[in-house]
């Protein structure tokens, strides 16, 4: 299990990297080797060169550089956050299992040379249409052959590396299929999938820019151009825009790089030719990596689906709470209406009862007419406050149902956060 995040001083980090191999430290801190090396570089902490630990094992005492103090507190405080520790538990377990298998099988053994894969005469059915297109595609001005889908996942190599790229892709796809993964080449976009989850990938050749060295023909054409400018008196305005050659050339290095397009919390996503390895020897590692990336994507998807499910449940509970609140307001409003009617009826009855004996209740006076109206009003109010009237007011409104469909067994839900966040 990877350790949790830690805070070190720059001096402590320096002492660690010169007393323990970076690969061991990276594993202890739950980071990738490359991620830990980048951390050291950010804090200006030098790391041992290649072969340092071999010399130590051989009994030598290679020189350790002096520790240099730097100005600025931002360099001195080193926050080490474990990226591997943040992975879902099942992905961490799979990662450790893959590492153990690779170590036991010595799949990580560095070599100085590797035999190329055999030429593919009958490519895997998934790649057949793409390979046909790759072989038919004419190289551009730099010699590049590129067949890629709309999201730029596919093949982009020099025409001299086409057969090698085909062999690598064919081997990867076949091994992935053996592991239960599904390879796809939809719309010339390469990917592997497992269930609902899909990881697109690319195989590209690295390039570099070099200063263009003009050929004899280009130099001769340039002299002709300059001579023409001199004859036309435009030579003083020559800024080199009409030059017969480009300033830089794009040079293909012959180094291939396989890259998976995935967000993966520190998991490895690229495998490339190096000084001591070729992509051909990394194919088992690549397929292991694709399996891990798919497992990670599945775990994150399931987490997202679970969050969405809980959010939907909470949304429904809050909706029920809103309906309960509205119902309670309707209940209060109804009872207040009945109470007010009953209170008015009681007040009118009390007024009538308090009239002095002998007060004229009939006749043509204003008082007589008011008393008659009051008795009519009292009759209306009493009719509105009977049990039957109350039942009629409740009919169809579901204010007091026998089975409460708005009840929440979990009680009242938490209120929404700022901006409606859950």
Residues facing residue 372 across a β-bridge: none
**Segments making up each domain of the chain, as ranges:** 6-86, 128-305, 320-420
Instruction: Quick: pLDDT tens for 21-34.
Output: 988 888 888 787 88
Mean pLDDT of the chain: 85
Q: Is the pTM of this model over 0.75?
A: no
Mean pLDDT value across residues 236-265: 79
Tokens of 237: 């305005």
Least confident of 54-58, 225-229, 320-324: 225-229
User: Is residue 270 pLDDT above 90, yes or no?
Assistant: yes
> How far is residue 103's CA from residue 214's CA, in Å, rounded to a whole number?
50
Instruction: Quick: pLDDT tens for 76-118.
Output: 788 887 656 556 666 666 666 666 565 545 434 443 344 568 8
Question: Which of the residue ranges 197-201, 264-268, 413-417 has the most confident prediction, judged by mean pLDDT?
Answer: 197-201
């Amino acid at each position: 299990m990877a350790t949790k995040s830690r805070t070190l001083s720059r001096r402590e980090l320096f002492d660690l990297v010169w007393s323990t191999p970076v690969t061991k430290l990276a594993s202890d801190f739950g980071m990738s080797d490359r991620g830990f090396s980048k951390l050291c570089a950010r804090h200006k902490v030098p790391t041992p060169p290649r072969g340092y630990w071999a010399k130590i094992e051989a009994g030598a005492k290679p020189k350790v550089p002096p520790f240099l103090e730097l100005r600025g507190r931002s360099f001195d405080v080193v926050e080490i956050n474990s990226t591997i520790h943040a992975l879902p538990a099942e992905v961490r377990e799979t990662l450790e299992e893959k590492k153990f298998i690779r170590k036991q099988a010595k799949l990580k053994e560095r070599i100085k040379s590797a035999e190329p894969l055999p030429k593919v005469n009958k490519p895997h059915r998934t790649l057949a249409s793409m390979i046909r297109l790759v072989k038919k595609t004419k190289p551009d001005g730099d010699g590049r052959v590129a067949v890629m889908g709309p999201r730029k996942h596919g093949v982009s190599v020099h025409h001299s590396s086409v057969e090698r790229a085909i062999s690598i892709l064919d081997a990867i796809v076949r091994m992935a299929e053996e592991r239960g993964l599904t390879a796809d080449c939809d719309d010339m976009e390469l990917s592997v999938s497992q269930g609902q989850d899909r990881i697109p990938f690319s195989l590209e050749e690295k390039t570099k820019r070099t200063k263009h060295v003009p050929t004899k023909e280009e130099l001769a054409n340039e002299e002709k151009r300059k001579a023409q400018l001199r004859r036309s008196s435009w030579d003083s305005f020559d800024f080199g825009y009409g030059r017969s050659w480009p300033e830089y050339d794009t040079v293909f290095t012959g180094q291939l790089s396989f890259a998976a397009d995935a967000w993966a919390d520190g998991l490895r996503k690229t495998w490339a030719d190096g000084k001591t390895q070729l992509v051909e020897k990394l194919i088992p590692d690549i397929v292991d990596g694709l399996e891990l990336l798919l497992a990670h994507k599945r775990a994150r998807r399931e987490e997202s689906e679970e969050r969405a499910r809980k959010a939907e449940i909470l949304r429904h509970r809050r909706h029920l709470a809103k309906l309960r609140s509205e119902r309670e307001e309707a209940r209060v409003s109804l009872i207040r209406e009945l109470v007010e009617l009953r209170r008015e009826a009681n007040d009118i009855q009390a007024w009538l009862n308090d009239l002095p004996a002998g007060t004229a209740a009939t006749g043509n006076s204003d008082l007589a007419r008011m008393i008659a109206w009051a008795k009519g009003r009292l009759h209306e109010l009493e009719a509105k406050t009977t049990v039957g009237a109350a039942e009629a007011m409740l009919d169809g409104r579901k204010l007091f149902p026998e089975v409460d469909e708005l009840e929440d067994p979990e009680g009242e839900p938490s209120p929404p956060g700022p901006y409606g966040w859950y």
